Chains A and B, each alone.
Chain A
Amino acid sequence: MARTPAELVGAQPGPPFRITFDGRPVTALPGQSVAAALWGAGILAWRTTRVGGRPRGAFCGIGQCYDCLATINGEPNRRACLVPARPGDAITTQEGHGRAALGV
C-alpha cells in the first residue's frame, strides 16, 4: 500500500528547490503550486482575514474560492493554488487586503 501520494503515482520529480514562507525555508517540487508546496510542509494558513484577522489557506483548490490568496514576492492577492512555485519565491502571510501600503 502506498504511504505517500508521490509513491502512489510513482512520481520521479525533478530536483526539489527552496522557497520561503515568512522567512522559513520550505522545500518545493517542480510542478507544484505554491499552495501544494506549503501543504507539503504542513502549512495550512498563509493569510489573515480583513475583518476578524482569522487564519486562512487553500480551500477549494481550484482557484474559485480565493481563500488561498497569498503575498508572493511582495505582490498580494495571488491564488496560491494556481501559482506555480518557483525557486526562491518568498511567500509572506497576507494580512487582510494585503495592500496596507496604499492606504492614505
Chain B
Amino acid sequence: MLTRNSADVIVVGAGVVGAACAYYAARSGLRVAVLDRGSVAGGTTGAGEGNLLVSDKEPGPELELSKVSAELWRKLSEELPPDIEYEPKGGLVVASDEAGMAALRDFASGQRRAGVTAQEVPADRLRELEPHLAAGLAGGFHYPQDAQVMPALAAAHLLRAGGDRVRLRLGEEVTGLLTGASGEIRGVRTAVGELHAPYVVNAAGTWGGEIARLAHVALPVRPRRGFVLVTEPLPRVVRRKVYAADYVADVASGSAALQTSAVVEGTPAGPVLIGASRERVGYDRTLSPEALRRLAAQATALFPVLAGIRAMRTYIGFRPYLPDHLPAIGPDPRVPGLLHACGHEGAGIGLAPATGLAIARSLTGGEPPLDIAPFRPERFSPAA
C-alpha cells in the first residue's frame, strides 16, 4: 500500500513523459509517487509546442515509437478532458523549389514503406489546404497523422487521470538514490526526507543525466536550446502544422550551430506558435536576436499575412538530447530497479505515451508495445 513514505514506483519528473509513465503505471495497478523539484510541466514540457509528429521522422526506431504514440494519443484524447486541446489536424511540409520537392518525395517514400500516410500536394493545391500560404512554393506533403496537444495541460490531466494511485510531490528535489546491499534501488532521498520504492523511473528530461549520476551511471543527456515566438491571439489563420522542408534536416543534425526552420501552427487559444531554432549553448537563457530574426523572417516568408502581426513573447526551452538523437527508455541493467524515460529531444510530447506504456509494461513484466532495444539506456556506456 501507499504510505506517506512508500510507493510501488517513484517517477522523478512531472513533465509529460513522467506523467505518461505515472498514468500507465497507475492503470496497471501500481501505486506511483511523482516527484518534481518544480511544478507540473515546469521544464521542457512547459516550453513545448505540443507536437505529435510522424512527418519529421525518418524510418527507424523513433518513427516506430511515434506511430505507437500517435495511436495512444488518439485513445487518450477520448479518455482525458477536452482541456488537453488534442487536435488531429495533420501536418503540411512545403518545399520552396523543385530540388526541395524531390528531397521531400524521396523522404516520404521511405516513410510510406514504414506505414506513414504521406500525400503529395502539388503547388496549385497548397492553398486549398492553407489559404494564407505564400505564392510560389514548389509543393508539399500532407501528413494526416500529425496532431497537436497543449503540453502542460496534457501532462496535468494525465497525472490527474491516474487517480488515487498517483501521488504528486512537487517542489521536492531528489538529492540521492537509496540502494540496497547489492546496489538495487530502494527509493530516493529528497530535501524533505526518504521515500521508499523498489523502482525509480528517471523522467527528469534535460536533467536526466544528473539523476543517472546520482545512481553512479552515465547518461549523456544534454540541452539543445530552442526559441518559440508567440503571436497575438488570432482567428484560425494556419490550419495545420506547417513547416519548411529543411526542418527535417535540422532535427536530424548533430551540429552545435544555430539552425532555424520555420514551424508555424495555430492554437485553439488563438496565438500562432513559430518554432523552431536549435542550438547547443548549454542552459544559456539570454535572448538571441539572430534566432528570433530568422524565425520571424522564415515564418513571414511562408505566411506573408503574419508580417503585420505582433509577437507578444518568446520563450526558451531546452530539449534533452542524447548523442544518437534517440531517447533512453527502459531498465538500466547497471542499477537494478532504475529505469530511464528521458532524452526525447524535441519530440517528448509526441513520444510520451508509448514511452510511458513501455515503462509500465516493463515494471509489471508485460510485453512492451514495441521493441525498445534501440533505446537501451546503457548504450553509451563503454562497457555495454
Contacts and interface: CB of A to CB of B under 8 A. Distances in A.
A71 to B, nearest CB: 14
B83 interface: no
Interface residues of A, number: 9
Contact of A104 (B233, B236, B270): B236
B234 A104 contact: no
A97 B233 CA distance: 6
A103 interface: yes
A99 B239 CA distance: 16
Interface residues of B, number: 13
A103 B235 contact: yes
Interface string A66-101: 000000000001000000000000000000110110
Task: Identify which of A50, A99, A100, A104 gathers the most chain B CB atoms within 10 Å of its CB.
Answer: A104
A102 interface: yes
A50 B131 CA distance: 23
Contacts of B130: 104
B258 interface: no
B305 interface: yes
- Main SS at interface, chain A: loop
B310 interface: yes
B132 A104 contact: yes
Contacts of B237: 102-104
Nearest to B266: A104
A103 B233 contact: no
B384 to A, nearest CB: 51
Contacts of B270: 50, 97
B232 A103 contact: no
B235 A97 contact: yes
B186 to A, nearest CB: 50
A97 B236 CA distance: 11
A21 B336 CA distance: 72
A100 B235 contact: yes
Given A50-B270, A77-B310, A97 B234 contact: yes
Given A97-B232, A104-B130, 8 more contacts: A77-B310, A97-B234, A99-B235, A102-B234, A103-B237, A104-B131, A104-B236, A104-B237
Interface of A: 50, 77, 96-97, 99-100, 102-104
- 4 A-B pairs closest in CB distance: A103-B235, A104-B131, A97-B233, A102-B237
17 contacts: A50-B233, A77-B232, A77-B310, A96-B233, A97-B233, A97-B234, A97-B235, A99-B235, A100-B235, A102-B235, A102-B237, A102-B305, A103-B235, A103-B236, A103-B237, A104-B131, A104-B235
